[in-house]
Amino acid sequence: MCCVRYILGSPPPSYSNDRGTCPARCSLTGSTEYAWVGPLAKPCKRKLLAAVNVAALLAAALLLAPRIVVAGPMSLEEGRAYLEDKEVEEIYLALAELQAGQHPEGDAAVASFLVEAVRVALQAEDAHVAFGLAGTARRLAPEEIEPALVFAEAAVLLDLRGAAAEALDEALSHAPEDGELCFQRASLAEAEMNLRLATDLYARVPSDHRRHQEAQEGVRRTSEALKEREAALERVSRMEAEMVKRQEESIRRLAEERKADFEPMRGEYLLGDLRRAQAQARRRGRVLAFIYTVPDSACRLTDEMFELVRKELSLYSVVVLANAADPKMRRELPPVVRSAIQAGEVGNLLPKTVVVDAEMKKVLARVPYVRDGMERHRLIAEAKAAIADHVQSTMIRGR
């Protein structure tokens, strides 16, 4: 509290301040003077000076506030001054959030300026700032070519190839014959091994364009790579056809020789014992895994796949072996398994594995023959996961 004299009555010999009751002299100012201020008492000098300073600061803030509120976006003249000093971060902070129609100098002019700023940022290897400025330029001028080109360049540097492709495709929809757009999109497609698209886009670069020679070289390069790929696919297709042929011959040979059936391991059943296998699956809360193949295929890769599948799935299911060399076996398969095999859902090569629930009403997983070892393990892991999900859901429903 400030030292005050009350309006009514004479001042007491002592008065109260922040420290409690004290002598007539003020401990803050040393003053013993009092002044009448109408209905209120006058504060001491130090408090008065502090109040004046606060009032001055508030007045200054009120004077400056209107300027802060009405301040608009950075002008292009100011932006070019920053650009000359290569301070693109300041431009980014001022204009990155700019929306169409907000700048008084027009969207087209601002977009053109931002493209210049993006190029400076790219030269400085500041891909993040370049990407942000290019995004603003595209937002202000979505049908222009240059914003899309610099945006794609920045996006590739940030390994955002999907965003780069999207920007170039959108620009090509507005200017499908632009040589630079065609060339840049073709280069991106070639890097992503989309060779057919790259060939088509390289061929669309006009003959009078500065990159025409490079584009023609791109056509030659991607065309050759495309031919090599098609030849490789043709070789793989022939190999698979030959393998199918060998398996069919093996099946016919085994059928003619009436070779003995599989020798089931512990926990496995032949297709003729399907009822026992189903009862076992129901009793143990497991599923049924049907492996449709031949006992001795005369193909090392086929036999390896068969042994791997029966070993891995026997830990999670009741395995049922169906001899593909016996023409009657396919007819004896449960309808849901036979449909999956006939529809080609498990490939054309043996072994063909179909996992179903214990009631043999629903297919849970399919494991076709594959040559690659890693792909084999991936397919088996997916089958195990499907089995686990089914068993868990069955247990929850049974509670």
Report the sign of the C-alpha dihedral through residues 95, 97, 101, 102, in that order.
Answer: negative
Half-sphere exposure of 85 (CA within 13 A, CB side): 9
> Cα(289)–Cα(316) distance, rounded to whole angstroms?
9
| Average pLDDT of the chain to the nearest whole number | 82
Predicted confidence (pLDDT) at residue 1 exceeds the cutoff of 50: no
β-strands 317-323, 287-293 pairing: parallel
Place of tokens 């023409």: 327
**76-224 CATH pick, 1.25.40.10, 1.10.10.10, 3.20.20.140, 3.40.630.10:** 1.25.40.10
Predicted confidence (pLDDT) at residue 245 exceeds the cutoff of 90: no
Higher pLDDT, 103 or 40: 103
C-alpha distances out from residue 299 to 264, 327, 346, Å: 20, 20, 19
Considering only CA atoms, which of 154, 161, 147, 91 is closest in space to residue 128?
154
Q: What pLDDT is attached to residue 48? A: 52
Residues of the chain with CATH 3.40.30.10: 268-398
Report the sign of the C-alpha dihedral through residues 289, 291, 295, 299, in that order.
Answer: negative
Asked if 367 and 389 count as a contact pair (C-beta separation under 8 A), the reply is no
State the pLDDT confidence band at 347, using cuts at 50, 70 and 90.
Answer: confident
Residue range 60-81: mean pLDDT, rounded:
67
Predicted confidence (pLDDT) at residue 21 exceeds the cutoff of 60: no
Reported as type and span, the H/E element at residue 255 is helix 212-257
Provide the percentage of residues in the chain whose pLDDT is more than 90: 59
Predicted confidence (pLDDT) at residue 3 exceeds the cutoff of 50: no
Predicted confidence (pLDDT) at residue 249 exceeds the cutoff of 70: yes
Residues of the chain with CATH 1.25.40.10: 76-224
Q: What pLDDT is attached to residue 69? A: 39
- Window from 14-23, 159-168, 249-258, 313-322 with minimum mean pLDDT: 14-23
Higher pLDDT, 246 or 168: 168
Provide the percentage of residues in the chain whose pLDDT is more than 70: 78
pLDDT tens readout for residues 281-316: 999 999 999 999 988 777 888 889 999 999 999 988
- Window from 87-96, 110-119, 387-396 with minimum mean pLDDT: 387-396
> Cα(205)–Cα(179) distance, rounded to whole angstroms?
5
For 194-313, list the strands marked E by DSSP. Answer: 268-270, 287-293
Residue range 163-185: mean pLDDT, rounded:
93
> Cα(233)–Cα(226) distance, rounded to whole angstroms?
11
State the pLDDT confidence band at 66, using cuts at 50, 70 and 90.
Answer: very low
Residue 21 Cα to chain centre, angstroms: 73
Predicted confidence (pLDDT) at residue 200 exceeds the cutoff of 90: yes
Predicted confidence (pLDDT) at residue 276 exceeds the cutoff of 60: yes
> Cα(227)–Cα(236) distance, rounded to whole angstroms?
14
Q: What pLDDT is attached to residue 214? A: 93
For 389, other C-beta atoms within 10 Å of its C-beta total 12
Q: What pLDDT is attached to residue 260? A: 54
pLDDT tens readout for residues 348-378: 888 999 999 999 999 999 999 998 889 999 9
- Window from 45-54, 81-90, 262-271, 356-365 with minimum mean pLDDT: 45-54
Residue range 222-231: mean pLDDT, rounded:
90
C-alpha distances out from residue 74 to 53, 68, 329, Å: 34, 13, 80
Q: What pLDDT is attached to residue 251? A: 65
Predicted confidence (pLDDT) at residue 67 exceeds the cutoff of 50: no
The identity of residue 40, as a single letter, is L
**268-398 CATH pick, 3.40.30.10, 3.50.50.60, 3.10.20.740, 3.40.190.10:** 3.40.30.10
